[in-house]
Structures are given as structure tokens and as C-alpha cells.
Amino acid sequence: MSLSAWKSGGKNFFTTIIRDITKNKQIEKALRESEEKYRTLFEADPDYTILVGLDGVLLDVNPAAERMIGRSKEELIGKHFLKLDIFPKDDLKLLKENFSKLKEHGDTNTYEMRIIDKNGLIRWIQNASTIIKKGNMGYVLEIGSDITERKYAEEEIKSSLKDKEVLLKEIHHRVKNNLQIISSLLDLQSTYVKDDSTAVNVLRESQNRVLSMALIHEMLYQSKDISSIDFSDYIRNLIYSLFTSYGVKTNIKPMISVEETFLNIETSIPLSLLISELVSNSLKYAFPQRKNGEISISLHSQNNHYKLIISDNGVGLPPEIDFKNVKSSLGLRLVNSLVNQLDGTIELDRNHPGTKFIINFKELKYEKRV
């Protein structure tokens, strides 16, 4: 309501204007209530919320932010965020960059950062910065929570995993050393039976079997991922060691065609013994009188299905030998039982000049032992 007095012709007049402002009052009340509601939410939020001007100066902070930083609202408001002395010196450059990037791209930016709390301890924060622009005004809203406990738990898990990996590598190393000792013992024993060529051969075969397993353990502790080895690398090493053991010079050539294949230890051990048996046989029997020849090893996979082919272009398996039912020697019997262990199949290609074995298998699943 407004009242005004005026004169006209020596007479006094009053004008009263009455306006109904009920609507205005209602809007004011709604605004006040809404402001109170958001203020309460802001104050009660367990996550910290900080409002920063585009110049980097703090405009408002909620109690969670005061608690986390360990300073009162009065100490914080009006200060530039980089001058708060709460960030580790090494992080300042990155924080500054993040803030400029946010202003440039006008987006939300989520990252993990560190602050030094009032006791001088590092705390990890998961922070989300959002830019809010209204006309020519702008703010940055920083919302975040303390993830220090989670960070420390993560570090602990990582370091315990690392410890276990080191331990496993150590075990593989020891297993390899022990197998090498057994191989040296067999080598020593063969000097006592040097007049008996069968005994020397038996000991050399056993030595190669032990060494082919030792090589797996050696590669496991050298490999980046302790649970598997690149079997193509393994095959190259094994072939080299077998050719050396049988004193092969240049008349027999190894032909290796293997693609990079990562296999776990359950599969690698039987597979390595199997390759060692078949390649040893080719080296021993395929090329009598040191004729020239080739021994091929190929390993390829499709949809987790592996095909291993071991062949030579030598004299071929004697026709009377039924390789699935050999009684008098150990090698081919071992091959059959290793194929079973791999849940695979083995065939002999009789049309191939020389000997050609085709083995199909899948990677064995790791079986829990406890």
C-alpha cells in the first residue's frame, strides 16, 4: 500500500494505492524454503562440496569440507585454492592444469588427488569438478569424498600379490635347480655304465625328460605373467637343447613353425614331455647313418583348439609297430598317456614319407588343489 499527499486549489488530497502482493509473498516464501532446503542439503552432505570462482578463489564450503581440510569456513573462503597449503608440492602443477582445462572445455572432470590433512598425513580424495556457467558468471563446483582407506587397502592387496608372485618365482627357481641337479646326477651315473650303451641311452633319455621339465620352470620364473609361458619360445629352447644333447651337427635341420601361444603349467608340462619324446625319437631313429633330413614342429590354434604336428622325413616308423600299443619301450607309451592327460587325440599319418604325428588338444583348466 502507498499513500501520497498533494494539493490542488488550496485543498489537500490523499491518494492511496493498494496492490495485492499475495502472489509476490508466496514466491518469496517458496524461494526462501527452496534456499533453506538446498542449504540444509549442502550442510548435511557427507561428501565435501566447495564452490570456487573461475579465478580459483573459494566462495563457499560445506562442513564436510571444513572437516576434511581441517580449517574453518572463515579461514577458507576468499583464498585461492592453490594457496591453501593443503596439496603436496608435486601435485600443484597438475591441479593447476586440471583447473585450466576445465575452464577451457567446460565439462566435468573426475580424478583422484591427494591432500595433506591437519596432522600432516596424506589423504586420498576422489574429486569431481564441474563447471557451471550462468550468463557471464561462472563457478566451479568441487564435490568429492575421502577414499584413503580404499587406497591403502588397494596398495596392500597389490603388495601382497607382488609378494606371492616373488614367492612363486622363487619356488619355480628352486624346482628348476633341483631338476637340474637330478639331471647332473643322471649324467654322472652314465659315466659308470659307459660300456653299456643301452644303459647310457636310458640315462640320457631320463636326463632329457627331466631337463624339458626344468626348462618349463625356468621360463615360468622368467616370464612376466607367472601363470603361463609363451610356448613358442619354449619349443625353440627345447629343440635347441635336444639337438645339443644328441650331438646333432648340420645334417638334420629343425623346421619350427609355431605361433605365439601362451599356455598354463598344467598344459605345458605334459606337452613339453610329449614333444621331447617325439623329437628325441626322430633324432635317434629317423636318420640312421647320419643322413640329411628335417624335423618339423608346428603349433597353431583356432578358437582355443590347438594342433601340434611333429614330423620327420626319415625312414618312418617300422610297419610292425602299433604306436598305441607299444609294450617293449617306454617312449611311445608315455606319449599316449601324456595325450590322455591333455584330454587330446593323437594320429599317425601313414601316408607321409617318414613319421608324422598330429596331436589335437585344448588348454587344461587350472585345478584348485586346496
Nearer to ligand ATP, 227 or 329 (CB): 329
Does residue 281 touch Mg ion according to CB under 5 A?
yes
Does residue 281 touch ligand ATP according to CB under 6 A?
yes
Q: Looking at 126, 331, 358, 360, which residue binds ligand ATP (CB under 6 A)?
A: 331
Tell me which stretch binds ligand ATP (CB under 6 A): 51-59, 109-117, 161-169, 307-315: 307-315
Does residue 276 touch Mg ion according to CB under 5 A?
no
Chosen from ligand ATP, Mg ion, none, partner binding at 258 (C-beta under 5 to 8 Å by type): none
- Bridge-partner residues for 144, per DSSP? 48, 127
The C-alpha atoms of residue 252 and residue 256 are separated, in whole angstroms, by: 13
Q: Which of residues 179-208 bind ligand ATP (CB under 6 A)?
A: 205
Q: Looking at 79, 331, 360, 362, which residue binds Mg ion (CB under 5 A)?
A: 331
Give the shortest CB-160-to-ligand ATP separation in angstroms. 45
Name the one residue in this structure whose C-alpha cell is 628335417: 294
Nearer to ligand ATP, 151 or 284 (CB): 284
Does residue 255 touch ligand ATP according to CB under 6 A?
no
Ramachandran area for residue 164 (φ above 0: left; ψ -120 to 50: alpha; else beta)? alpha
Closest residue by Cα to residue 309 from 241, 361, 266? 361
Cell, residue 122 = 596424506
Contact 279, 295 (CB under 8 A): yes
CA 294-348-208 angle, to 5 degrees, is 60
Chosen from Mg ion, ligand ATP, none, partner binding at 326 (C-beta under 5 to 8 Å by type): ligand ATP
The C-alpha atoms of residue 75 and residue 84 are separated, in whole angstroms, by: 9
Give the shortest CB-183-to-Mg ion separation in angstroms. 17
Does residue 293 touch Mg ion according to CB under 5 A?
no
Give the shortest CB-325-to-ligand ATP separation in angstroms. 11
Calculated CA dihedral for residues 34, 37, 40, 44, nearest 10 degrees: -130
Cell, residue 224 = 612376466
| Positions that interact with Mg ion (CB under 5 A) | 281, 331
